[in-house]
Structure 1
Amino acid sequence: MRWLHEKDIENIAIGATVLGTGGGGDPYIGKMMALSAIKKFGPVQVVSVDELNENDWVLPASGMGSPSVLVEKIPSFEQLSAPLQAYEKACGKKTDVVMPIEVGGVNSLIPVAVAAMNRIPILDGDAMGRAFPEAQMVTFHLDGLKPKIVTIGDEQGNTVTIEPIDGFWSEKLARNITISMGGSSIVCDYGITGEQAQKSVIPGTLTLAQEIGALLSQTRTASTHPIEQMLRLLKGYRLFKGKATHIERGIQGGFTRGIAQFAGTDDFSQQACTLHFQNEHLLAELNGKPIAMTPDLIAVLDEETGMPITTEGLKYGARVVVVAFPAHEKWRSPIGIETAGPHYFQYPYDYQPLESLVKEHANK
């Protein structure tokens, strides 16, 4: 039996922000919500996917909307609780286990707070293995599961329950409701049985986030930079090193959208990198050519510390390292690429695996 304590939350917040590919919410806000809940209600038990019973009722809890708005509207305990209570009322089932819908600085930790408040366990796994901007971009959708019931709550005490016909309508309806709620909400959706979770959930992602956070926050004693240690752990690649020279960022359609441009330094001098994002980093171009693309993971790290920088936290002049990691195999399937590949976001590229793109650039 494993429990999450305060130090664990610190590390998960860091590691989840790396895996959150620039999105998934501000890690400081997520950390403070989870820490406050644990201090008030006690530590949270963690269960693995293998420990679930077939008939356990597993419910994801997450934040929806622009990360930029969430910084201004931090959810209260009441707002965090309301969607779960509304979901249980609508489906007539008691929640046995809470889970993250995605990995992200806020969205890995909102369910920790919800679990603490309701004194139920949290699942060590999620439905993305990273963060994605839209509600249907989950492994449940890839496996043919539908959300059926979605509950949405805001800081005013409003709670809305919808019954969408599929994940795409869930995204459309919940997004518009979230915009009406001021651009940020708490959501419960895709309630599933333990048996379904064992088939669809990407396992072990909370533990992985915790390992990454421990690696990046350790006292610097090793000769190898923590970024390089993390790349080994995640089988990732260093794509670029440079300085942020131009950032365009705005809230459109309930998302934080934009581009960030960088001028290369050191080994990458005379080179340029552009990142395209919609909450999350979705496309990286090196000298005008793609070097990493969704559904593979792209992250921006502080050059000195290795700490992750979110899309809303990136500032002009920041000195960064851009890294990327292969997506979970579920996302590299035809339906995974159709659901969250570059064409879905209207980028003019066919999906190519990260490994192929890096090799292609290296051979030029």
Structure 2
Amino acid sequence: MKRYLLTLVLFYPLLVLSQSNNAPSSYDIHDIKITGYLQTQFQKTQSPGISSFSGGDFAENSDNRFIIRRGRLKIDRVDKYSSIVFQIDATQNGVQLMDAFIQLHQPDNKRFQLTAGLFNRPFGYSIVYSSGYRDFPERSRVFQTIMPRERDIGAMLSYQPIKELRFLNIDVAVVNGSGLFARDYDSKKDVIGNLSFKFDSLANKKLHIGFGGSIYKGSVRNGTESYYTDNGNGFTKNTDPSYKGANLKRNYYGGNVQIQYDNTFGTTSLKAEYVAGVQPGVAASSSISGALASQSFSTQPATDLYLRNFTGCYIWLTQQILKSKFSALLAYDVYDPNSKMNEDQIGLDNNTTAGDIKFSTLGYGMTYLFSSRLKLTVYNERVINSPTQLTNYNKDIRDDVFTTRLQYRW
């Protein structure tokens, strides 16, 4: 038994490379199976009431908190022709539906799959990769902004060859575009395409490589007679009665790579992802924080839209320490919601707001695996924003976050 647990610990990073949210716990035929995980954590930040991408904003007068970050309960069943997955998330904020989909597949293999219902958008790597297996506490700022809560409702066709091209995976999805909690507020649908490759047995089975590319083609309905476009030095207001009801572009493209090497010092894992495109947003205001100004909409926007060209990326490095139960974590991510604008121009008389500010985050910490089910994570995030001409953002704000998390899987 001890040898079995040790094997799981040592090869934990390898096992999780294939952990996708858009799948049942196993494709072996089985009746009802229940799995899940619980994440409970304590956090401390530099200032009370900050806006944060590390588990949500802090309360107005609080700079520390205990929270249940995720409490997932997943029920699935697989028979000869189909699979069904139903997952909820129970935290101090209540119970929310996370996944509810049916998959149809061929009886003899899973080469073609049709998924229908509520599922993770098949864009890139980190969106579909389960939070229960991810070494780092949260997804990067850019993905939390453009795809909050990761899910959408629609249908997806997947293709994964089972012989010569088994390293290949293709997903094409059509979704509402309004996300997890909302009804579709227009007649348009968004299309997502994902192409990925994975090679698991290189260099005497010590090297594992994955990479891929994704595209998102969508739109957001404009609810007013005006919208703003980026002119390189700020925003230009465009006004015409015909603009009300127009669908403004929401387009992303991205690439990702994952490299894992099982060396004498312990497993080394490097994961990186880049995404860019056009994101419809709004102006930051007293009621809309800067962080939320570029976030994707779950309801029809009530104010003029801002079309922003954005870029974002992350790099995650995990190093197992001397094949022990300890692993060191190092991460860096950048999100620039307005890549055409220099930070020293934000806040001038050019219609720019806090929604245009670039943020970068340096994260570092450590994990300890008590067993294959129980994990402790200690992690600190140094969050940096470039100085602007805006009153509250003329220097780096104090919004670093320290997290201690305990997770149990079953």
- TMscore range, shorter length: under 0.3
**Larger-Rg structure:** 2
TM-score (norm 1): 0.23
- The structure, 1 or 2, with the larger RCO (C-alpha pairs under 8 Å, 6+ apart) is 1
More strand by share: 2
TM-score (norm 2): 0.21
